[in-house]
Amino acid sequence: MPNPIEWTAKQKEAALKAIHIAETKARFGSATEAQQPAPITKIGVIGGGTMGAGIAVVMLNSGLSVHMIERDAPAVDAGKARVLDTLKRDRASGRIDKAEYAARESAFKASAQYSDLTDVDLVVEAVYEDIDVKRDVFRQVSEACGDDVILATNTSYLNPELIFKDVPAPQRCIGLHFFSPANIMKLVEIIPTKTTAKDVLSTAFSLTRTCKKVPVQVGICDGFIGNRILKAMRTQAERVLLFGATPQSVDAALKEFGMKMGPFEVQDLAGLDIAAYQRKAARDRGEKVFSPVSDHLVDQGRFGRKTGAGWYDYAGTEQVFDTPEPVKIALGAARQEAKVEPILWTNAMIVEVVVFAMLDEAAQILDEGIAQDPSDIDLVEIYGYGFPKDRGGLAWFGSAYGLSKIVERLEHYNKLNVSEAPSNALRNWAQADA
């Protein structure tokens, strides 16, 4: 069986060419060319936190006017400061000059009154990932804006159709999932609902092109494409820990494969409390969630970089790669409860069991129609999650490596109880790709 980490110069060249073609195609979406996009000159942004401020900067850098809405005067001041601080850093670094900074500053307004949105063309909501909070936002936006204003939610997990429930003129509603930090990350998942008008979908693609983003149209499911695969990756990475691996060894293997960061480093950066909130929501829906170690860390207040401790300890900005004692204790307790035999892991084995599990999830996403094409998954993984570009993305790599070989390896790991059995979707994809 070939080593999944080994990759030739010829394979890298072919992979980069494939991604260039996929990115060019994705910028226009499917069946949107004939639909005239609406002119967009002024954007409303609801929320001045990290995501809302980042989206505001994206729009300002694209030559658009922005009006940000926050809940009260202190929040308005904080949101405005985040936007202007980012623009000041861009000015100091030379990314924009003095005149460009002045133009962006004059095009930006912020307030706590939804009535100030009467002249916007499109509103992007970027508030807390709570469906009731988001519904209340759109209730207030609908009261302030006409039915011709496009409404977009920046949800990363929730169903946009439920968010937009009871919103007048639902044909103007759509999901636009930017990735944080929005002013840096290139990916935007575009999520039409059953009622989204084709010209609204076309406008969404046109806007992302204006913002120099990489758009990918996705269907509705928990986590869409990117976060659904991320969930599979996190689950599999944590399962490997039960069988004797350490967070350091898993991260090192995935980085040798080409990932910019390992899965446990990513969790510490994003915040373990965020994932814990999502797991709680899943459990509340009656879903089974695998997190035998991370839940213990959250219970101890180890939320990642923000608290100076997560899977790793942090001394200032420095990451300490030795396994912290609380993590050792949590790992020991989880392993004792699981009653499994440890495995002597190599980097190649870790890559197989984690990346191949991600591919299995990708196969199910394709089978369900959440992704329209394997290349859409590749773009999401590269531009949203740091998958190595010179491997062509997740799906392209799987086909190049050999999907039938991946099925065989997942069957092997399933016998060891380290992974789920390969899905029918992956088996069918392997047969079709043979």
Distance CA 429, CA 360 (A): 10
Q: Identity (one letter) of the amino acid at 300?
A: Q
Number of CB atoms found within 10 A of residue 421's CB:
14
Supply the pLDDT for residue 290: 83
**Domain extent listing, the chain:** 9-24+346-433, 31-217, 241-250+261-338
The Cα–Cα gap between 327 and 293 comes to: 8
For strand 42-46 and strand 318-320, is the pairing parallel, antiparallel, or unpaired? unpaired
Could you give the C-alpha distances from 222 to 36, 204, 231, 310, in angstroms and in order? 31, 21, 10, 25
pLDDT (tens, 9 = 90+) of the chain, 434 residues, equals 789 999 999 999 999 999 999 988 887 666 555 578 999 999 999 999 999 999 999 999 999 999 999 999 999 999 999 999 999 999 999 999 999 999 999 999 999 999 999 999 999 999 988 999 999 999 999 999 999 999 999 999 999 999 999 999 999 999 999 998 999 999 999 999 999 999 999 999 999 999 999 999 999 998 999 999 999 999 999 999 999 999 999 999 999 999 999 999 999 988 898 888 778 877 888 878 888 899 999 999 999 998 999 999 998 778 888 889 999 999 999 999 999 889 999 999 999 999 999 999 999 999 999 999 999 999 999 999 999 999 999 999 999 999 999 999 999 999 999 999 999 999 999 999 87
**Do 9-24+346-433 and 241-250+261-338 have matching folds?**
yes
Structure tokens at 42: 């002024």
H/E stretch holding 398:
helix 394-401
Rounded Cα distance, 365 and 425, in Å? 9
Residue 415's pLDDT is 96
Domain 9-24+346-433 is in which class?
A: mainly alpha
DSSP conformation letters of 253-319: HHHHHT-SS-HHHHHHHH-HHHHHHHHHHHHHTT-----TTHHHHHHTT--BGGGTBSSSEEETTEE
Per-residue model confidence (pLDDT) at position 346: 97
Pick the CATH number of 31-217 from 3.20.20.70, 3.40.50.720, 3.30.365.10, 3.60.21.10: 3.40.50.720
- CATH number for 241-250+261-338: choose from 1.10.1040.50, 1.10.3720.10, 1.10.620.20, 3.30.70.120: 1.10.1040.50
Is the bond leading into 181 cis (omega within 30 degrees of zero)?
yes
pLDDT at 270: 85
Q: ∠ at Cα 150 (146, 154), nearest 5°?
A: 130
Residue 196 DSSP symbol: -
Distance CA 200, CA 335 (A): 51
Exposure class string for 296-313: b at 16+ Cβ within 10 A, else e: bbbeeebbbbeeebbbbb
Cβ(9)–Cβ(352) below 8 Å: no
Integer Cα distance of 321 and 96 in angstroms: 37
> What is the pLDDT at residue 322?
85
Query: Residue 16 is encoded by which pair of tokens?
Result: 């980069």
